[in-house]
Structure 1
């Protein structure tokens, strides 16, 4: 059977009782020890919740960082390749035009 969400696990209860008994004062009743153990259980449960939340936040931040890094890589790589190929394409027609004019001038001059 699963423990209720509001109720700490059996392991946590045993740990809390062990701590409460270890710090027990002379003349302290069993009921007082149980109350102390319950307080310790609540403290342990709260600590575990805080740690889970911290881990969850760290995971979210890490995922966000990965996504941003991927976006930067995706946006920078295509721009670089397009920027490198675009000047070559735009220079090719001018280069061919210059060669054809030089050939025409050479033909007319040396004919």
Structure 2
């Protein structure tokens, strides 16, 4: 009713203002109804995705964990050795540049 009175034009009757207020109220209720429907649909979709992901996780647990950790360890080991070799090459280049050897 406050919104209807705020937008009331000069010469407008109380009945017209009431009708406008009812229309505004109806519009708000319709908006809330649609918003709830959208939220419900999004929740359903989210639940479907969660169930699908849970099923995929169960299917993926068939892979042995040992194989995965071994591959990670090998990559980390190669990285460590590569960095060590690179640092030694840099040290040797530095010493040679200074004329130490």
Fold similarity call, TM over 0.5: yes
* Counterpart position of 1:68: 52
Counterpart CA distance in 2 for 1:21 and 1:50 is 26
State the 1:44 CA deviation. 0.2
* Counterpart position of 1:27: 11
State the 1:45 CA deviation. 0.3
Tell me which of the two structures has the higher relative contact order, counting C-alpha pairs closer than 8 angstroms and 6 or more residues apart: 1
Deviations 1:37-61 (A, max 9, x none): 0100110000000110111111111
| Secondary structure, aligned partner of 1:48 | helix
Match of 2:32 among 48, 66, 70: 48
| Secondary structure, aligned partner of 1:58 | helix
Q: What is the TM-score when the length of structure 1 is the normalising length?
A: 0.56
Counterpart CA distance in 2 for 1:45 and 1:57 is 18
Counterpart CA distance in 2 for 1:71 and 1:60 is 17
Structure 2 unaligned segments of length 5 or more: list them: 68-101
Q: What is the TM-score when the length of structure 2 is the normalising length?
A: 0.61
Counterpart CA distance in 1 for 2:55 and 2:12 is 63
RMSD: 1.2
* Counterpart position of 2:73: none
